């Protein structure tokens, strides 16, 4: 994982969930919550880049069990402090690029991590996450669409086509953060040969892609 992004999210931990308070996004967040709860109902879930557990907390209302992982202990401390009435969540510090997940899960969730993966690293990323679920298991990725007047402007584009934003935290520190905004064709092309039953749901501010991993 990019070390600049790791540092950024460590410093952002206490204000992480402010992004979910934007008034124009509340309706979509409710729809997204219901969609994820329906998909993961009664399933075992392996979650990558769980952050402060915003989505973990919501998915846990219907899932059978969640193993939620993140590289940052700062955000995991916040996630662990949340209440999970079903007692069906476990947290683990892990770098998703060095995962050696022995147990296989029925499903995998990655919320707002795709956009922080460099374009040239996406094939490796997908291979790793697919290997964490059973053959034919369900993978769900959620991320942002770029929306003018709601999204931060893009500051630059590198030679590989990756895009970046400049973000300022409440402590005054400024960070250049990798943030890619893929389009449907790019998503489907990357999943060719490694996924079946691909479904893309597009909201205004968010997209959701769901697929099954291929069987041997």
CATH number at residue 188: 3.40.50.150
Q: What is the pLDDT of residue 10?
A: 75
pLDDT given for residue 149 in this prediction? 87
pLDDT at residue 159 greater than cutoff 60: yes
Better-scored residue on pLDDT, 99 or 186: 186
Range name among 1-5, 62-66, 195-199 with the lowest pLDDT average:
1-5
- 3-class DSSP assignment, residue 171: coil
pTM: 0.94
Contact 131/71 with Cβ under 8 angstroms? no
172 φψ region: left (φ > 0), alpha (ψ -120 to 50), beta (else): left
Averaged pLDDT of the chain: 94
User: Regarding beta strands 133-144 and 206-213, do their DSSP bridges make them parallel or antiparallel, or are they unpaired?
Assistant: antiparallel
Whether the per-residue pLDDT at 100 is higher than 80: the answer is: no
Q: Name the residue range of residue 108's domain.
A: 3-213
Helix (H) or strand (E) segment spanning residue 6: helix 3-12
pLDDT score for 122: 98
The 3-class SS string of 32-99 reads: HHHHHHHHCCCCEEEEECCCCCHHHHHHCCCCCEEEEEECCHHHHHHHHCCCCCCCCEEEEECCHHHC
Q: How many domains does the chain have?
A: 1
């Amino acid at each position: 994982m990019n070390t600049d992004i790791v540092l950024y999210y460590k410093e952002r931990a206490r204000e992480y969930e402010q992004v979910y308070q934007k008034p124009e996004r509340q309706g979509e967040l409710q729809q997204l919550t219901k969609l994820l709860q329906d998909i993961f109902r009664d399933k075992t879930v392996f979650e990558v880049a769980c952050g402060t557990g915003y989505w973990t907390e919501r998915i846990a209302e219907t899932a059978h069990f969640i193993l939620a992982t993140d590289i940052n202990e700062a955000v995991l401390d916040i996630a662990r402090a949340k209440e999970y009435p079903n007692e069906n969540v476990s947290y683990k510090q892990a770098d998703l690029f060095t995962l050696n997940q022995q147990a296989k899960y029925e499903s995998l969730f990655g919320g707002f991590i795709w956009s922080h993966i460099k374009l040239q690293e996406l094939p490796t990323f997908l291979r790793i996450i697919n290997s964490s679920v059973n053959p034919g298991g369900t993978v769900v990725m959620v991320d942002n669409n770029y929306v003018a007047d709601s999204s931060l402007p893009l500051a630059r584009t590198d030679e590989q086509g990756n895009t970046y934003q400049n973000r300022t935290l409440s402590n005054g520190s400024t960070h250049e953060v990798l943030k890619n905004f893929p389009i449907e064709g790019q998503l489907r092309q990357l999943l060719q040969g490694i996924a079946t039953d691909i479904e893309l749901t597009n909201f205004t501010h968010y997209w959701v892609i769901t697929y099954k991993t291929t069987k041997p």
